[in-house]
Homo-oligomer: A and B are copies of this chain.
């Protein structure tokens, strides 16, 4: 048995998320369907680095699977891309040691969130950015981002639907905000993320950008441990799983 690590991009628009579900079109479902074709109908289970929700995109999602099919590691890429639909693309495949696990071995994940900060929406970007027409104070959002960096209990900034069990303490190494013309880019990097955490943090940064919340007030929101204190959960189409890092390997590029 060879263990194959596979890094892929997908346009989340027409998927009901990554995780396989009966009667829904999912990324995992399409991948397992392609792998079954390669394996003469035999089921091959795919293990992702983590889930992404309906409408959320991936620039470099990582998964692993095991196979006894005799294919050079680099040929997996071509074989899968031939069978996958055009909204999933395998960027690279490599053989990894038997101990490798796409979920448990993650060292760091990077998410990005894109906002189109213009008065008029752009019909060609409606599924790829969140259109937000109000004026935003970039400097204040950048300042507020720094209050999210470091190790904190992120209860306030995770969905109430998140599992009640387990620690809500996570470590973020970067929460930054960059302007490219009318496009705002939020970069969040960390060891792990709770359910909806990126979308709620960026939603809270928009509250700061609109001057409804001061940057240093973020501190007291953490202390409150109450989801109601934070900003809205932003919609999925602006969110991208940008990169998943493992020891001595990197899914980007």
A residues at B contact (CB < 8 Å): 9-11, 57, 86-89, 91, 120-124, 126, 128
B86 touches A121 (CB 8 A): yes
Interface centre among A9, A89, A122, A123 (most CB of B within 10 A): A123
Partner of A126, one of B11, B120, B121: B11
Q: Is the CB of A89 within 8 A of B128?
A: no
A11 to B127, CA, bound (A): 11
Q: How far is the CA of A124 from the CA of B122 in the complex (A)?
A: 15
**Least Cβ distance of A40 to chain B in Å?**
27
A126, B91: Cβ atoms under 8 Å?
A: no
Q: Which 10 A-B pairs have the closest CB atoms?
A: A11-B123, A9-B123, A86-B126, A89-B123, A11-B124, A87-B123, A10-B123, A89-B121, A124-B128, A87-B126
12 sampled A-B residue pairs with Cβ under 8 A: A9-B122, A9-B124, A11-B123, A11-B126, A57-B124, A86-B123, A87-B123, A87-B126, A88-B123, A89-B121, A89-B123, A91-B120
- Bound: A11/B237 CA distance, A: 16
Which B residues are CB-close (under 8 A) to A122? Answer: 9, 89
Q: Considering the chains assembled together, what is the distance between the CA atoms of A91 and B122 in angstroms?
A: 10
Q: How far apart sit A88 and B57, CA to CA, in the bound complex (Å)?
A: 22
Question: How distant is the Cα of A72 from the Cα of B89 in the complex, in angstroms?
Answer: 48
Q: Which residues of B lie under 8 Å from residue A9 when comparing CB positions?
A: 122-124
Nearest Cβ distance between residue A13 and chain B, in whole angstroms? 9
Beyond A57-B124, A89-B122, 7 additional pairs, beta carbon < 8 A:
A9-B124, A10-B123, A11-B126, A86-B123, A88-B123, A89-B120, A89-B121
Q: A126 contacts which chain B residues (CB < 8 A)? A: 11, 86-87
Taking CB atoms, residues of chain B closer than 8 Å to A87 are 123, 126
A239 smallest CB distance to B (angstroms): 13
Complex CA–CA separation, A121 to B124 (angstroms): 18
Closest to A11 in B: B123
Bound Cα distance from A122 to B59, whole angstroms: 10
**Which residues of B are found within 8 Å of A57, using beta-carbon distances?**
124
Bound complex: CA A19 to CA B11 (Å)? 28
Question: Looking across the interface, which residue of chain B has its beta carbon closest to that of A126?
Answer: B86
- B residues near A121, Cβ cutoff 8 Å: 86, 89
Instruction: Report the minimal beta-carbon distance from A62 to chain B, rounded to whole angstroms.
Output: 16
